[in-house]
Amino acid sequence: MQKIVINKRHGGFGLSKLASDIFCDTKCIVKGTWDDSLQYYSGFDSSDISRDDPLLIEIVTNLGTDASGVFSKLVVVEIPDGVEWEISDNAGFEWIAEKHRTWS
Protein backbone atom coordinates (compact mmCIF):
# COMPACT_ATOMS: atom_id res chain seq x y z
CA MET A 1 0.00 0.00 0.00
CA GLN A 2 1.08 3.55 -0.76
CA LYS A 3 0.72 6.18 1.96
CA ILE A 4 -0.18 9.76 1.08
CA VAL A 5 -0.89 12.81 3.26
CA ILE A 6 -3.99 14.88 2.43
CA ASN A 7 -5.94 17.67 4.07
CA LYS A 8 -9.49 16.87 5.22
CA ARG A 9 -10.59 20.42 6.07
CA HIS A 10 -11.56 23.40 3.97
CA GLY A 11 -8.77 25.93 4.04
CA GLY A 12 -5.78 24.13 2.57
CA PHE A 13 -2.78 21.97 3.29
CA GLY A 14 -0.35 23.31 5.86
CA LEU A 15 1.97 22.11 8.57
CA SER A 16 2.06 23.35 12.13
CA LYS A 17 5.17 25.16 13.36
CA LEU A 18 6.24 22.00 15.20
CA ALA A 19 5.80 19.79 12.13
CA SER A 20 7.58 22.36 9.92
CA ASP A 21 10.46 22.53 12.40
CA ILE A 22 10.87 18.75 12.44
CA PHE A 23 10.65 18.49 8.65
CA CYS A 24 13.06 21.34 7.92
CA ASP A 25 15.55 20.44 10.64
CA THR A 26 15.66 16.79 9.52
CA LYS A 27 16.08 17.72 5.83
CA CYS A 28 18.46 20.66 6.56
CA ILE A 29 16.09 23.18 4.94
CA VAL A 30 16.49 26.86 5.82
CA LYS A 31 13.10 27.93 7.19
CA GLY A 32 13.38 31.68 7.47
CA THR A 33 11.25 33.56 10.01
CA TRP A 34 7.98 32.25 11.44
CA ASP A 35 4.98 34.55 10.86
CA ASP A 36 2.44 34.04 13.67
CA SER A 37 -0.37 35.85 11.86
CA LEU A 38 -0.07 33.84 8.64
CA GLN A 39 1.20 30.63 10.29
CA TYR A 40 4.15 29.86 8.00
CA TYR A 41 7.91 30.29 7.59
CA SER A 42 9.05 32.99 5.19
CA GLY A 43 11.58 30.68 3.52
CA PHE A 44 9.66 27.40 3.44
CA ASP A 45 6.44 26.46 1.69
CA SER A 46 5.04 23.19 3.04
CA SER A 47 2.80 22.84 0.00
CA ASP A 48 5.93 22.04 -2.02
CA ILE A 49 6.48 18.80 -0.10
CA SER A 50 5.69 15.62 -2.00
CA ARG A 51 2.67 14.15 -0.23
CA ASP A 52 4.19 10.68 -0.27
CA ASP A 53 7.43 11.88 1.33
CA PRO A 54 8.32 9.28 3.99
CA LEU A 55 9.33 11.95 6.52
CA LEU A 56 6.05 13.84 6.04
CA ILE A 57 4.10 10.60 6.55
CA GLU A 58 6.10 9.83 9.69
CA ILE A 59 5.53 13.32 11.11
CA VAL A 60 1.77 13.25 10.49
CA THR A 61 1.52 9.71 11.88
CA ASN A 62 3.52 10.52 15.01
CA LEU A 63 2.15 13.99 15.78
CA GLY A 64 -1.48 13.35 14.79
CA THR A 65 -3.51 16.57 14.96
CA ASP A 66 -0.43 18.48 16.18
CA ALA A 67 1.05 18.14 12.67
CA SER A 68 -1.79 20.15 11.10
CA GLY A 69 -1.54 23.84 10.38
CA VAL A 70 -4.20 26.25 11.61
CA PHE A 71 -6.29 25.84 8.43
CA SER A 72 -5.79 22.11 7.92
CA LYS A 73 -6.56 18.63 9.23
CA LEU A 74 -3.88 16.32 7.89
CA VAL A 75 -4.42 12.58 7.58
CA VAL A 76 -2.51 9.68 6.05
CA VAL A 77 -4.50 7.75 3.44
CA GLU A 78 -3.49 4.38 2.02
CA ILE A 79 -4.13 3.40 -1.58
CA PRO A 80 -3.12 0.24 -3.49
CA ASP A 81 0.42 -0.02 -4.83
CA GLY A 82 0.80 0.77 -8.51
CA VAL A 83 -2.03 3.31 -8.67
CA GLU A 84 -1.02 6.50 -10.46
CA TRP A 85 -2.59 9.18 -8.27
CA GLU A 86 -3.13 12.90 -7.96
CA ILE A 87 -4.61 15.09 -5.27
CA SER A 88 -7.84 16.93 -6.07
CA ASP A 89 -9.56 19.44 -3.84
CA ASN A 90 -12.55 21.66 -3.24
CA ALA A 91 -11.66 24.85 -1.32
CA GLY A 92 -8.71 23.05 0.25
CA PHE A 93 -10.59 19.87 1.26
CA GLU A 94 -8.60 17.16 -0.52
CA TRP A 95 -9.03 13.63 -1.81
CA ILE A 96 -6.90 11.26 -3.86
CA ALA A 97 -8.00 10.49 -7.41
CA GLU A 98 -6.57 8.00 -9.85
CA LYS A 99 -4.91 9.77 -12.79
CA HIS A 100 -6.69 9.43 -16.12
CA ARG A 101 -5.99 10.79 -19.54
CA THR A 102 -8.01 13.83 -20.59
CA TRP A 103 -8.24 15.86 -23.79
CA SER A 104 -9.92 19.14 -24.63
Residue 104 falls within a domain, yes or no? Answer: no
Domain membership of residue 26 (yes or no) is yes
> Which region among 1-5, 38-42, 83-87 has the lowest average model confidence (pLDDT)?
38-42
The tally of domains found in the chain comes to 1
Q: What is the mean pLDDT of residues 82-89?
A: 92
Portion of the chain with pLDDT greater than 70, in percent: 100
* pTM for the full predicted model: 0.91
DSSP 8-state secondary structure symbol assigned to residue 46? G
pLDDT tens for 4-44 read 999 999 988 999 999 999 999 999 999 999 988 888 888 89
* pLDDT value of position 78: 97
Asked whether residue 55 is domain-assigned, the answer is yes
Q: Which pLDDT does position 93 carry in this prediction?
A: 93
Query: Rounded to whole angstroms, how far apart are CA atoms 87 and 74?
Result: 13
Of 41, 52, 38, give the one whose Cα is nearest residue 18. Answer: 41
Average pLDDT, the chain: 93
Structural domain of 14: 2-98
Q: CB of 15 within 8 A of CB of 9?
A: no
Residue 62 maps to a domain: yes
